[in-house]
Structure 1
Amino acid sequence: MLKPHQLAAELEARLGDPTDPDQLFSYENCAGLDARDEFPAAICDQLDGLGLSTYYVPPQYGGALQNYEDLFQLLRTVARRDMTVAVAHGAAYVDAVPTWIAAAPPLALRLGVELVRGHRAERRFRGGGVGDALDMASSPPDPIGPPVAAASPAGYVLTGTTPAAPRTRGGLTGLLARTGDDLMEMSMFLVETERAQLAPPARLHGIRGTDHGSLTLHDTEVAATDLIGTEGSGVELAMKSRQLTWIVDAAVSLGGIDQVLRLALDRVIEDTVYDLRLVDLPQVRRRLTEAYADLLAAEAVALVATRSVQVSTDELAVVGPAATVFLRDRADDLIRLAAELTTDEGRVGKALRDHQTAGAVSGGVRVLRSLAGQLPLLVRTYGQPAPLAPAAALTTDLPELRADQLQLLSRNGSSLMNGLPVAVAELESLANAGVVSHQLAGSAEVVLSVANDLHCQLADAIDPTVALELGKRYSLCFAASACLQVWLRNYADHPKDDLWTGGVWLEACLVRLLGLMRVPPAGLAETVQIAYGRLMPAMVQQLRSGRLLSLFPYPLSEESRP
C-alpha cells in the first residue's frame, strides 16, 4: 500500500466505526452537532491527539508535511465521515499557508510549534457567546473595508474588520490589512487570535458550527516581525496561497463522494422492488456504474493534482482550478444522485448542504473564472513537448516544495495536457501488444480529438458568456489526461488487480468522461456496455468486502459484509 493511503487507513482504524454512536467521531454525533450549530471541538481535539495537525506544518518548522498527498488523503478520510469537521479542522492549514510561503523562519517556527501542540482557544464572540465577550454597544463601530495597518514605533497598529471566512481556533491567525493609500496595497500579518474579536459565526446553510465570521481589531499593536513577507505583497501572497489551499476543497469533495456513494450502493444492492433487486434494473445499474467511474476519475485527478504541488509547482495556477472545478461538479452530481436513491435523508441531505456551502464559501465561481481566464494562454502552450507526467508515477518520491516557484499564471500551460498525444500513442502501442483492447485505445484517440478541437476553439476570440463553459470542458479533458497518465505510469505495479488489468477502470472512466462531454466513444453503445459491465464486479467486491471504494482500497471501520 502506498504511504499516503497507509496513513489514511491507520487514521480510519483509530477513529473507530462511525456507525457506532458511542464513538466520538460518529455519524450520529456529527448530526447532533449540525442540528445545534455547534463547533466540533471535541472531535477536533481528538484529531489533534492523533497527530493530524502535524501534517499542516512543514518539517523545518516541526511538522510532518513532507508530502501534500499525505495531507490530502488524511483530510479525505475526515471528510468521508463529516465534511464540516474537515472544514473546521482544515481551517488551521488554510490559515497557515501564507506563513509557510513567505514568513521569516522565526515567525514560521512560532506558528509551527503552536499547530503541532494542537491547542485550541475557547472562542470569545463579540456581542454574545462564551466567556467575557464584549458588549457590542460599548464597542466602537467597525470600520468599513479591510483592516488598516498604521506604522508605529514598535511595528504596526491594526484597526478594522476582516471579511467573513472560516476561522482557526489556534492561538495565531493570519489576516490581510491595508498598509498604503491604495486599496490594493495590502500586507499579511500573523497576530494572536485572542487579541481580535470574532463576530458571532454566521448561520450557514451547510458546514454548520464552523467559526465562519469576521475578526475585528481595535488599535491592536503588532511587531514588525509579525509581518508575513514584505509590505504590500499581501494580495499576491493570498493568491499564491490559494494554489496550496485548494487541497482542502479537493479532500472535502472526494470525501463527500466516498460517503454518499456508499450509502446509495448499500441501498440499491440490498433492496428489492416487486421481487427485483434494484441493482438489476438496467437504468439503475448503469447510473451506479457511472457514479463509480466518476469516483475513480475524481481520485485520479486528485492524486495527480496534489502530487503536482511538489512536481509541477509552477503549473498550479492551472492544475488547482482544473482539479477543483472537476471535483466539485462530480461531487455535486453524485450527492444529488444519492439523494434520489437512498432513504437516509439525514446524512445525504447534510452532505448536500455541506458541499454546496463549502464551495460557495471558498469561491467556486471564482475558481472557474480563474481557469477560464487562462484559456488563451493554454492555447499557446498546448502541444509543446512534455515530460512523462512525473506527478502520475505514484511510487516515485516527491521533491521538496519550492514555494518560490509559485506563479500567478502558468507560463508553460499544463504539462499533463501537453503530454496527452504521447500518452495516447503509448496506449495504442499497448493495444497492439495485447495489453489493452483496441476499443480502449480508440476511446483515448477520441479524447485527444476532443482536446485538439477544444484548443482550436480557444484560439479564437472567446465570448465571456462561453468562457465558463469552455473552462468546464477543459477540466473534463484534464481529468481524462489524468486518468490516462495514472494508469500508464502504475498499471505494471498491479498485475493481479482486476480493476487495473487490461485497463478496466481506465476504459470506464474515459467512456464516462466522453459522455459528460456529449461525445460518443469508439465503438458507440457496444463500448459503453462492455466498459461498465467489466467495472461493476470490482465495485460490488469492494463494497461487500467493507473496503474503501477506490483505485487503492483499504479496510474501513464499518462492519464488513459477508
Structure 2
Amino acid sequence: MTAPARLDELERLLGDPSDDGNPLGGTAALSADEKDEVFGAAEQALDAYCLNAEFVPRRHGGRLAGADDLIQVLRTVFRRDPSLGLGYGVSSFISSVNVWASGSPTQTRWVADTLLSNQKIASAYHELAHGNDFSRAEFAARPGATGGWRLNGRKEVVTNVKRARGLVLLARTDERPGSRSHSQILVDKQTVPDGAMRDLARYPSVGMRGVQLGGIEFTDCPVDDEAVVGRPGQGIETALRSFQLTRTAIPSMLAGVLDSGLRSTMDFTADRRLYGHRVADQPEVRRLLVDAYLDLLICDSLGLVAARALHLLPGQTSMYASAVKYLVAKRLMDAMHQLSLVLGAHFYLREGRYAIFQKLLRDLAPAGFGHAARVACLGTMLPQVPLLARRGWVQPAPADPALFRIGEELPELPFERLRVSAGGLDGLAGSLGAAVDRLGDGSEQQRLRLVAEQFRAELGDLAEAGAALHPSDLGVDARVEVLDLPARYATVLAASACLNVWLARDDDPAWVTAALDRLARSLGRAGDDRSGHHREPLYQDLAARHAERRSFDLSRRALPG
C-alpha cells in the first residue's frame, strides 16, 4: 500500500477529532489526559493499523521506506493527540533506529518481530544527574566473571520503560573518558532474572500526561555478549548517527500539533464576536494567524527537505538534523504561544470546544528539551562550523533538485552511510544561491530575489565569522554569541528549503515571499519592504483551507469532518 493510501486509511480509522461522539476524538483524548491515563481506545486502533510497521524498514518486513512518508503518517497521530504520538509510537521509533544502524542480523530480526507483533521497545540514554550530556552516563555494563555483561544502575524518565518488551540502554563499558566509553545494550525484559530489575515510579508531568514516563533500576543483571549493539564502545557514535533520523523526523511530526492548534484558534476567531464584529476580522488577529500559518509552512519545508536529505545526502545530515530540532521546535512553540494570545482566557480552559488547545500547548513543550535540548543541538553543530565556513559556505555546490520534490519516491534509507560529521559539505546551503539565480524577471520574482539575496549575504557573513573561530570557542562552554552562529545558519537552511520547495512546486509566490521575509527579519535583516502586501491573500488561503477541512501544511490534505 502506498504512503498516501496508508494516510487515508489512518485518517478514516481515527475519524474526525472534533466530533464529540467519536471514541477516538479530541473529547476522549482530553478525558484520558485528565485522568493521567493512556488513551487506550486509540492505542487499540493503532494496533489494528499496526503503526509499528511504519518504523520497520521494508527489508525487515515493515513499511518504512521514505522518512518523509513516516513524518506524514505520524503527523496524523500527533495532530490528534501528542501523547498518543509519543507514547504509542515514537518511543519505539527512537529505540529501533539504533538497531537498524548498527545491530546484528539477529538483533534486527528480533526488533522487527517485536514491533510487528505490536509490542514496544524503549530507549534509555539520559540520566537526570547529567541531562543531555549522555556521554557522562553512569549506568554501567561490566564484563561478567564467566562471560557476558552485568548491568548496574538506573535510568529515569523513560517513555514506556515499564510496558516495553525490549530496552536499548546506553551503558558505560569503559571508565576511561572519551567517545568510546559507552555501548548500547539491547535487553529482552522477558529474559531478565527475578530480582535483577525493578520499575521506578512515574514522574509527574505537566504535559504528555498520557505517556508512561517511568524509570528502571538494574542490579547485577546478566546479559549475553550478543546484547551489545554494534561493537563495544560504539554506543555514542551509533546514537549520534541515529539522532540524524530522530532529530529530523520527530519535530516535523510535531508540526501536526501546530496544525490542530491553528485550527482550534480559527474556530474561535470565527465564532467569537467583540464590539459587534468577528474576532477574525481584527487586523492584529489576522496578523498573528498568518504568522502561525507561515511558521507551519517554514517548519514543514525544512523538516521534509532534511528528511529527504537522509536518503539523498546521508553524509551531510548531521548538521541538518540538529538545525531541524533547534529551529522547528522553537518556531512551533513560539507560534502556539502567539495563538494562545488570540484565545486569551480560553486557551487554558479544560472543558468546552477549545479545550484541546491547552492540552496541545502543554504536550508540545517537551519538543524544546525532550530527546535533546535545542541548545544542545547548537552545541553539536558548533564544532563543524569552521570547516563548513572554509569549504561548504564558500561557492558551495548545490544539491540534486530531487531533494526538493516533496512526495517523489526516494531510495531506501542508507543507515550505514550516515556520518557523525558532514566533512565540510553542504548541498542545502549550496542550493540557496542556485535558487536565487533561477528567479525570473517578473515583478513578484524580483521582489522575492531582493529578500532571498539577504540570505546569500547572511551565509557570507557566517562564513567569515565561522572561519575566525578559535578551537577554544567550540566547547560545551561556548559563549552565547558563538552559539548564535549555528542558530543563524539554521535560519539560512530554512530559507533555502522554502525557496527551493517553492521552485519545485511552481505555485503562488505569496507564501514563500512572506516566509522569507519572516525569516530575514528574525536575523535582523530588512526583509521585504512590502511585507504586508501578502498578508490578506495568505489569510484568505488559510480561511479557505479551514472551511474546506484541509491541512495547513504543504500537503493540503483533506481531513475528516
TM-score bracket for the superposition, by shorter chain length: 0.7 to 0.9
Which of 373, 390, 394 aligns to 2:402? It is: 390
> How many Å apart are 1:206 and its aligned residue?
1.4
CA distance in 2, matches of 1:386, 1:49: 43
Q: In the alignment, what sits opposite 1:426?
A: 438
2:531 match: 528
Partner Cα distance (1:341, 1:443) in 2: 29
| Match among 168, 176, 185 for residue 182 of structure 1 | 176
Q: Which of 523, 529, 540 is the matching residue for 2:543?
A: 540
Question: How big is the shift at 1:358?
Answer: 3.9
Structure 1 SS opposite 2:254: helix
- Equivalent residues of 1:7, 1:70 under 8 A apart: no
TM superposition shift of 1:119:
3.0
* Residue in structure 1 matching 2:371, options 362, 372, 380: 362
Equivalences for residues 252-401 of structure 1 within 5 A? 252-342=253-343, 343-345=346-348, 346=350, 347-364=356-373, 365-380=375-390, 381-382=392-393, 383-401=395-413
Deviation string 1:382-428 (CA, Å, 9 cap, x unpaired) is 1222234432122432112222222112113321012211110011x
Give the C-alpha shift of residue 247 in structure 1: 3.9
Match of 2:460 in 1: 452
Report 1:46-65 matches (<5 A): 46-65=45-64
- Cα separation, 2, equivalents of 1:422 and 1:263: 39
Aligned CA distance change for structure 1 residues 85 and 420 (closer, same or farther; 3 Å): same
Q: What is the CA deviation profile of residues 216-265 of structure 1, one whole-angstrom value per residue up to 9, with x for unaligned ones?
A: 22232222222210111112112222112124531343121111111112
1:453 partner letter? D
TM-score normalised by the chain length of structure 2: 0.87
Is structure 2 residue 65 aligned with structure 1 residue 66?
yes
The answer to whether the Cα contact below 8 Å between 1:9 and 1:556 also exists between their aligned partners in 2 is no
Q: Residue 101 of structure 1 corresponds to which residue in structure 2?
A: 101
Deviation at 1:27, TM superposition (A): 1.5
Q: Secondary structure at the match of 2:144?
A: strand
In the alignment, what sits opposite 2:158? 165
- SS across alignment from 1:538: helix
Equivalent residues of 1:147, 1:162 under 8 A apart: no
C-alpha separation between the residues in 2 aligned to 1:180 and 1:6? 48
Q: Which moved more, 1:288-297 or 1:513-522?
A: 513-522
| Cα distance change of structure 1 residues 213 and 247 upon mapping to structure 2, 3 Å threshold | farther
**Kept after mapping to 2: 8 A contact 1:80/1:259:** yes
Question: 1:403 matched to which residue of 2?
Answer: 415
Q: State the SS of the aligned residue for 1:188.
A: strand
- State how far apart, in whole Å, the 2-side matches of 1:7 and 1:247 are: 21
Aligned to 1:148: 141
Q: Secondary structure at the match of 1:214?
A: strand
Q: Would the aligned equivalents of 2:84 and 2:210 in 1 still touch at CA under 8 Å?
A: no
Distance 1:349 1:14 in 2: 25
Instruction: Please tell me whether residue 116 in structure 1 is matched to residue 116 in structure 2.
Output: yes
Partner in structure 1 of residue 35 of structure 2: 36
Pair 1:193–1:8, CA change in 2 (3 A) = same
* Paired residues of 2:71 and 2:250 also in contact (CA < 8 A): no
| Aligned residue identity for 2:304 | L
SS in 2 for 1:160: strand
CA distance 1:533–1:518, change in 2 (3 Å): farther
Match of 2:176, SS?
Answer: coil
Aligned partners of 2:332, 2:203: CA distance in 1, in Å?
Answer: 25
Deviations along 1:140-172, one digit per CA (max 9) or x if unpaired, are: xxxx92132323545223232234332354322
Superimposed CA distance per residue, residues 328-376 of structure 1 (whole angstroms, 9 cap, x where no aligned partner): 1111111111211122423322222222134322222211222234322
Deviations 1:488-516 (A, max 9, x none): 1232xxxxxxxx23x22211211221222
Q: What is the CA deviation profile of residues 102-136 of structure 1, one whole-angstrom value per residue up to 9, with x for unaligned ones?
A: 11112111110110110359xxxxxxxxxxxxxxx
The 1-side partners of 2:457 and 2:520 are apart by 11
- Would you say 1:440 and 2:443 are equivalent positions? no
Q: Give the residue type in structure 1 aligned to 2:558.
A: P
Q: Compute the displacement of 1:453 (Å).
A: 2.3
CA gap 1:425/1:476 in 2 versus in 1, 3 angstroms: same
1:509 aligns with 2:515: yes
Q: Residue deviations 1:76-118, cap 9 Å, x none? A: 1111111111111210111111111111112111110110110
- In the alignment, what sits opposite 2:483? 468
Amino acid at match of 2:255: L
Which amino acid letter does the alignment assign opposite residue 105 of structure 2? P
SS of the equivalent of 2:315 reads helix
Which of 189, 192, 196 is residue 188 of structure 2 equivalent to?
192
Shift of 1:454: 3.0
> Which amino acid is 1:484 matched to?
L
Q: Deviations over 1:457-502 (max 9, x none)?
A: 33333662212223222211111100011111232xxxxxxxx23x
Of 345-354 and 313-322, deviating more is 345-354
Corresponding residue for residue 129 of structure 2: none
* One-letter amino acid of the counterpart of residue 193, structure 1: K
Distance verdict in 2 for CA 1:60–1:82, change over 3 Å: same
Residues 270-279 or 474-483, more deviating: 270-279
The root-mean-square deviation of aligned C-alpha atoms, in Å, is: 2.4
**C-alpha displacement of 1:435:** 9.1
Structure 1: which 5+ runs fail to align? 122-143, 492-499
Aligned ranges 1:3-42 → 2 under 5 Å: 4-42=3-41
Residue in 1 aligned with 2:91?
91
